[in-house]
Amino acid sequence: MARLVLKFGGTSVANLDRIRRSALHVKREVDAGHDVTVVVSAMSGKTNELVGWCGEAASLHDVREYDAVVASGELVTAGLMAIVLQSLGIPARSWQGWQVPILTNDAHGSARIQSIDPTAIIEGFAAGEVAVVAGFQGLHQESGRITTLGRGGSDTSAVALAGAMKADRCDIYTDVDGVYTTDPRIVPKARRLDRVSFEEMLEMASLGAKVLQVRSVEIAMNYNVKTFVRSSFEDPANPSAGTLICAEEDIMEQQVVTGIAFSKDEAQLTLRRVADKPGIAASIFVPLAEANINVDMIIQVVSDDTTTTDLTFTVPTADYERARVILEKSRESIGYSVLQGNTDVVKISAIGIGMRSHAGVAARAFKALAEKGINIRAITTSEIKFSLLIDAAYTELAVRTLHSLFGLDRAA
């Protein structure tokens, strides 16, 4: 008998029919003798609707009341799931985040979990009771206010609960049957991966893959929670295993490159002829950081006379205009000559723990893209990944080229 956490995303609980289908996945595990905790998201589209209502009520609203509103979507789903499970003859009850309790800090809208006490849920296992927990939410104990964990926070709730109760595994049910080598809509030959390391999944999640929320992968890695990505749309009586997210040592064979990710949420900014002296980089990036604008790729090119330099970097597309305004206001203190920008770019990334032991991986990619006439605007690397900034028009060609280059096609 194992202790399991099963998480169902918005598309898996989008209506009563889908809730009933998801409940059959729960029933399969209960019938097998396992202790089961279920974590649910709001019905697909419901959180966006609630967020929209907050904006219509007042453009500048109290973030504490915002959390009270948007957390309600998961409460509805949790109650409905418990009712459906009861109709199948399974003892079940719904839990709100504060009832567990899941305690967080007071960063409303993007709170971070500080502690979870799963004692009450575990006590329910003795009576064969399934706990259905509303994901995405917690409690700031000092103020007694409901908090939410940010978009995709139900993944975080599920993995954190699994870690707190020392669950044998955490199954994330969604509308795809696992993690793929790249987006199958771009590369039809993309294949589902049987296993991916925590580090690889963390890079994929942060570089454009939408399967799992980044913070949930961080928690899974920190607490060594074996996590499966599975499809709720498969036959509940005979589902596939999906993709296991696990420690590197649990993977027998390591490919050089595991997957190709891409992100269209990129904008490029370039400052021309900036004085090349100490403190200039700080005068550029500190104001952006204070405005909570995340800077990613950074390239500096010193001029021939070594007195000025060109600085190129990327920011999220949503922050592009704000970043431009901040830089224009700081023009005098920075001392740049020209500010240039481009939102028609995309970041392509290759990820694989096998890169640690193989030289020349990025060089092969540069050559292959050059042969296709694709110009690289910027490059960043780490131990297990490299990312390239290119013109958005070449996205599909670049992804397909790298996918084939590193032998990720089904036929490989």
151 vs 158: CA distance, rounded Å:
14
Q: Which of 214, 279, 248, 250 is nearest to 356 (CA)?
A: 248
Nearest CA-CA partner of 82 in 119, 131, 47, 29: 131
The DSSP letter of residue 294 is: P
410 is in an annotated binding site: no
DSSP β-bridge partners for residue 341: 269
The answer to whether residues 264 and 314 touch, using CB atoms and an 8 Å cutoff, is no
210 is in an annotated binding site: yes
Residue pair 180/204 in contact (Cβ under 8 Å)? The answer is no
- Is there a binding annotation on residue 46? no
Q: Are strands 385-391 and 345-351 parallel, antiparallel or unpaired?
A: antiparallel
Calculated CA dihedral for residues 239, 242, 247, 249, nearest 10 degrees? 90
Given CA atoms 252, 256, 260, 261 in this order, what sign does their dihedral have?
positive
Annotated binding residue 74: yes
10 is an annotated ligand-binding site residue: yes
Tell whether residue 66 is among the known ligand binding residues: no
Could you tell me the two tokens for 364? 């092969």
Q: How far is CA 153 from CA 42, 96, 124, 179, 376, in A?
A: 11, 14, 24, 19, 34
d(CA 304, CA 302): 7
Q: Whose structure tokens read 């899941």? A: 102
Q: Give Cβ neighbours of residue 343 (< 8 Å, ≥ 6 apart).
A: 267, 268, 317, 320
Determine if residue 20 is labeled as part of a ligand binding site: no
> Is 47 assigned to a binding site?
yes
> Within 13 Å and on the Cβ side, how many CA atoms surround 157?
37
Is 7 annotated for ligand binding?
yes
For β-strands 3-8 and 243-246, DSSP reports them as: unpaired
DSSP H helices in 88-213: 119-125, 153-164, 198-206
Is 8 known to sit in a ligand binding site? yes
Per DSSP, helices labelled H in 114-267 are 119-125, 153-164, 198-206, 214-222
H-state helical runs in 88-134: 119-125
**47 vs 71: CA distance, rounded Å:** 8
Q: Detail the residues annotated as belonging to a binding site for substrate.
A: 47, 74
Q: Detail the residues annotated as belonging to a binding site.
A: 7-10, 47, 74, 174-175, 180, 185, 210-211
Q: Detail the residues annotated as belonging to a binding site for ATP.
A: 7-10, 174-175, 180, 185, 210-211
